[in-house]
Structure 1
Amino acid sequence: MKLKVLHHDPAAHERKAGKITRYYRNPDPQLHPFERAREYNRALVATKLDKMFAKPLVAVLDGHTDAVKCMARSHKRVADLFTASCDGELRFWNMPTRTCTKAISAHDGFIRGLCVSPDDRLLFTGGDDKCIKTWKVEKNEGMTAMDWDEVLDEGNLVRGEEIDTSKLAKEVPALNVYMAKSAVTSLDHHWSRHLLVSTGDTVDIWDHHRSAPIQSFEWGCDSVICARFNPAEPCLIASTASDNTVGLYDLRGSSPIRKVLLKMRSNAVSWNPMEPLNFTVANEDCHLYTFDMRKLDIALNLHRDFTNAVLDVDYSPSGREFVAASYDRTIRIFRVSESRSREVYHAKRMQRVLCCRFTADTRYVVSGSEDTNVRVWKAEASKPLGPRPFRERQAMAYRDALKRKFQHLKEIRRIARHRHVPSLIKKHTEKRRIMAQAKKRKEENLRRHSRPGAVPFESVRRKPIKKQIE
Structure 2
Amino acid sequence: MPGDPDRCWRLLDPGSVPRNYDPSLHPFEVPREYVRALNATKLERVFAKPFVAALEGHRDGINCLAKDPKSLSTVLSGACDGEVKLWNLPTRNCTRTIQAHDGFVRGMCVRFCGTSFFTVGDDKTVKQWKMESPGYGEKEEPLHTVLGKTVFTGVDHHWRDAVFATCGQQVDIWDEQRNAPMRTYTWGVDSLHAVKFNPIETHIIGSCSADRGIVLYDMRKPTPLKKIILEMRTNALCWNPMEAYIFTAANENYKLYTYDMRNMEAPIKVHTDHVSAVLDVDYSPTGREFVSASFDKSVRIFPIQSGSSREVYHTKRMQHVTCVRWSSDDKFILCGSDEMNIRIWKANASEKLGLMSPREIAAQSYNQKLKEKFQHHPQIKRIARHRHLPKSIYSQIKEQRIMKEARRKKEMNRRKHSKEGAVPIVPLKQKDVVAVLE
Question: Structure 2-normalised TM-score?
Answer: 0.93
Query: Pick from 315, 320, 338: which aligns with 1:370?
Result: 338
Q: Which residue of 2 aligns with 1:82?
A: 76
Deviation string, structure 1 residues 394-439 (Cα, Å, up to 9, x no partner): 1111111100000011111111111111001000001001100110
3-state SS of paired residue (1:392): helix
Q: Which residue of 1 aligns with 2:36?
A: 42
Q: Which residue of 2 aligns with 1:154?
A: none
Q: Which residue of 2 aligns with 1:234?
A: 202
Q: Which residue of 2 aligns with 1:289?
A: 257
Does 2:103 match 1:109? yes
The aligned runs of 1:180-259 (5 Å cut-off) are: 180-259=148-227
Q: Which residue of 2 aligns with 1:384?
A: 352
Aligned amino acid, residue 367 of structure 1: C
Preserved CA contact (<8 Å) 1:56 1:381: yes
Deviation at 1:73, TM superposition (A): 0.4
Preserved CA contact (<8 Å) 1:310 1:325: yes
3-state SS of paired residue (1:391): helix
The aligned runs of 1:101-180 (5 Å cut-off) are: 101-138=95-132, 172-180=140-148
Preserved CA contact (<8 Å) 1:311 1:354: yes
Preserved CA contact (<8 Å) 1:221 1:241: no
Query: Pick from 323, 327, 349: which aligns with 2:291?
Result: 323
Q: Which residue of 1 aligns with 2:9?
A: none
Q: Which residue of 2 aligns with 1:70?
A: 64
Deviation string, structure 1 residues 224-282 (Cα, Å, up to 9, x no partner): 01011111222211111000000111111211111011000000010001011011110
Deviation at 1:451, TM superposition (A): 2.4
Preserved CA contact (<8 Å) 1:76 1:120: yes
Does 2:428 match 1:460? yes
Deviation string, structure 1 residues 346-392 (Cα, Å, up to 9, x no partner): 01100100000000001000000001000000000001111111111
Separation (CA, whole Å) in 1 of partners of 2:364 and 2:219: 48
Does 2:91 match 1:97? yes
Deviation at 1:38, TM superposition (A): 0.7
Deviation string, structure 1 residues 274-300 (Cα, Å, up to 9, x no partner): 011011110000000011111111011
Preserved CA contact (<8 Å) 1:124 1:135: yes
3-state SS of paired residue (2:403): helix
Aligned amino acid, residue 278 of structure 1: I
Deviation at 1:29, TM superposition (A): 6.7
Separation (CA, whole Å) in 1 of partners of 2:408 and 2:277: 22
Separation (CA, whole Å) in 2 of partners of 1:180 and 1:122: 20
Aligned amino acid, residue 363 of structure 1: K
Identity %: 47
Runs of 5+ unmatched residues, structure 1: 1-25, 148-169
Deviation at 1:30, TM superposition (A): 6.4
Tell me: CA distance 1:113–1:172, structure 2 relative to 1, closer, same or farther (3 Å). same
Separation (CA, whole Å) in 1 of partners of 2:286 and 2:205: 21
Separation (CA, whole Å) in 2 of partners of 1:221 and 1:368: 31
Tell me: CA distance 1:118–1:454, structure 2 relative to 1, closer, same or farther (3 Å). same
Aligned amino acid, residue 342 of structure 1: R
Separation (CA, whole Å) in 1 of partners of 2:368 and 2:149: 54
Separation (CA, whole Å) in 2 of partners of 1:425 and 1:371: 19
3-state SS of paired residue (1:341): coil
Preserved CA contact (<8 Å) 1:312 1:324: yes
Tell me: CA distance 1:28–1:318, structure 2 relative to 1, closer, same or farther (3 Å). closer
Does 2:411 match 1:417? no
Deviation at 1:448, TM superposition (A): 2.3
Deviation at 1:126, TM superposition (A): 0.3
3-state SS of paired residue (2:174): strand
What is the aligned-residue RMSD (CA, Å)? 1.7
Tell me: CA distance 1:29–1:210, structure 2 relative to 1, closer, same or farther (3 Å). closer
Preserved CA contact (<8 Å) 1:221 1:242: no
Aligned amino acid, residue 433 of structure 1: R
- Extract structure 1 runs of 4+ deviating beyond 4 A: none
Separation (CA, whole Å) in 2 of partners of 1:261 and 1:110: 28
The aligned runs of 1:387-406 (5 Å cut-off) are: 387-406=355-374
Separation (CA, whole Å) in 2 of partners of 1:98 and 1:30: 56
Deviation at 1:76, TM superposition (A): 2.3
3-state SS of paired residue (2:429): coil
Question: Structure 1-normalised TM-score?
Answer: 0.87
Separation (CA, whole Å) in 1 of partners of 2:156 and 2:429: 28
Tell me: CA distance 1:194–1:36, structure 2 relative to 1, closer, same or farther (3 Å). same
Aligned amino acid, residue 220 of structure 1: G
Preserved CA contact (<8 Å) 1:105 1:171: no
Query: Pick from 376, 383, 408: which aligns with 1:408?
Result: 376
Rg bigger for which structure? 1
